[in-house]
Chains A and B, each alone.
Chain A
Amino acid sequence: MRLPITQAFLILMGLAFCSAFVLPSRYTNPLRAPVQGLFIPVSAPAARLANWAHAHWANDAETDPRKNDSIVAENVRLRNQVSWLIEQNRRLAVLAGEKKSLGDLNKLCQRFSVGGSDTGNRETLQLIDGILANVREGQPVLYFGGLAGRIDASGQVRLLTDPGFNVSGKFVRFVQQGDRQELFPFTDLHPSVFGMGQGRMRITMNSLAEVKNAQLAVGDWVVLSDDTWPAEVQGKRIGKVESIAPRKDSPLFAEIKLAPETALIHLSEVFVLVGKN
């Protein structure tokens, strides 16, 4: 017996339209979770091949200064550790009397290989064995250079650079002190950082005057300072100030563009914070 495919097609199109344009994503995203990883047998080797080719031939000198340079990579890890420790110390001071150790963040994290990236124009990553390891919505995702994003309802990693992703942070500056770099918070501004796609984030809610008064400059960093995220990841680096300019639609406000340490969409492994202190 032949199915009336045209009628079935029209019904499916109607359902797809409702799902895409009408129904809130929280109802449909969980439907995707059980089939995460379905395409990894093809996407993982393809991603490895593509990343190998990208590393050898792409000109990413500006976005990935670590290329072929292990000393720079080590420096990045140390800077990140310093920013995290300073923020943790500050929080411990606030919680005076509670002599609770924050523990070693590495022990709280589970390492995952990335099996593929978003098939559309968004910025998400699929984790190999993410569903089997039972990662949960909302868990923070880290990489060697700081914070990468968060697990979403469908079990994918939504990157900080995904359009619309929102997180709060604060500005810090790394200053050379002898043979090492130290981190200084130098302003009270608490910016809201929004993902803007194409591997970038932006801050648009601060006036130009505020930015000038704070003496914000290209090269400063934004680190996480957001109470909706777990305490363990506060102080993790979000992005480096890449440019500061007046907003085109509102010239009295500044548009500050941020770039993460490396292109998040090309990460080959990430760490999901699965534990708690």
Chain B
Amino acid sequence: MRGLTYFILAYVAIGVQSGMAHALAVGSALPNFALLAVIFITLNAPRDVALSGAFFIGLFQDLCTGTPLGLYAFSYGLVAMFVISTQQIVYREHFITHFSVALIGGLIVGLLVLAQSALRDRATVPAMPLFYGAIYTAVLSPLVIGILNRIRRVFQFQPRRSRDGRSGGWNS
């Protein structure tokens, strides 16, 4: 995968998340564009690249939030591990795949945010907005990931395993 294209995607996803998410809220549900970028990367990129790519999108998101540093990086790392485990059994261009993976990914992130809040802040973050946010993000996923799939070529995703038995890596 091209590193520069990945960086632009991560940068735009976090910028849009920071600038627009609260304005696009439906009730208490916030969309999570960074999570959609993570799902797009992990559905398409080779395993190693997908893991590190998801982790660093989370780390970028951690820079602009009030939660402790590392929470989203850790959450997206887990989401990436989950998505990679399903890569062989899902049709990665189908909208139902995008919806279901985004929903489960949103729930994983929500559970970790809630767990962190309960352990460190004595359950100050309300649970239902996280659940609604996961649904909202899942509803948006066919549109956002569909658009990203249209421009997938610029990411130069490599096959998951090449003939010499090594999985693809980062390109400059």
A107-133 contacts to B, CB under 8 A, are 115-124, 126
Q: Is B30 an interface residue (CB 8 A)?
A: yes
Q: Give the interface segment out of B68-76, B89-97, B146-154.
A: B68-76
A163 in contact with B64 given A5-B48, A9-B77, A17-B70 (CB within 8 Å): no
By the criterion CB–CB under 8 Å, are B15 and A41 in contact?
yes
By the criterion CB–CB under 8 Å, are B55 and A152 in contact?
no
B124 to chain A, nearest CB (A): 4
Residues on B with C-beta less than 8 A from A105 are: none
B14-53 contacts to A, CB under 8 A, are 14-24, 28, 30, 34, 48-49, 51-52
Interface of B is mostly: helix
Contact partner of A163 (CB less than 8 A), chosen from B11, B49, B119, B121, is B121
A136 to chain B, nearest CB (A): 17
By the criterion CB–CB under 8 Å, are A43 and B18 in contact?
yes
Q: Is B143 an interface residue (CB 8 A)?
A: no
Closest residue of chain B to A53 (Cβ to Cβ) is B23
CA–CA, A215 and B74, complex, Å: 49
By the criterion CB–CB under 8 Å, are B126 and A28 in contact?
no
Residues on B with C-beta less than 8 A from A20 are: 67-71, 73-74, 116
A127 to chain B, nearest CB (A): 12
B49 to chain A, nearest CB (A): 8
Closest residue of chain B to A5 (Cβ to Cβ) is B48
CA–CA, A15 and B26, complex, Å: 34
Interface of A is mostly: helix
Residues on A with C-beta less than 8 A from B77 are: 9, 12-13, 16
B 94-122 to A, binary, CB cutoff 8 A, 1 in contact else 0: 00000000000000000001011101111
Interface size in chain A (residues, C-beta < 8 A) = 63
Contact-residue bracket for chain B: 35 or more
Q: Is A81 an interface residue (CB 8 A)?
A: no
CA–CA, A121 and B67, complex, Å: 8
Residues on A with C-beta less than 8 A from B116 are: 20-21
CA–CA, A174 and B70, complex, Å: 45
CA–CA, A200 and B30, complex, Å: 16
Residues on A with C-beta less than 8 A from B12 are: 42
A116 in contact with B73 given A46-B15, A163-B117 (CB within 8 Å): no
Q: Give the interface segment out of A32-40, A65-73, A138-146.
A: A32-40
B146 to chain A, nearest CB (A): 20
CA–CA, A48 and B124, complex, Å: 30
By the criterion CB–CB under 8 Å, are A28 and B68 in contact?
yes
A interface residues with partner B (beta carbon < 8 Å): 2, 5-6, 8-9, 12-13, 15-21, 23, 25, 28-29, 31-32, 35-36, 38-51, 53-54, 58, 115-124, 126, 152, 156, 158, 162-164, 194-198, 265-266
B interface residues with partner A (beta carbon < 8 Å): 11-12, 14-24, 28, 30, 34, 48-49, 51-52, 55, 58-74, 77, 113, 115-117, 119-122, 124-126, 129-130, 133, 166, 169
10 closest residue pairs by CB, A with B: A42-B15, A46-B19, A116-B18, A50-B23, A19-B70, A122-B66, A16-B70, A47-B19, A43-B19, A43-B18
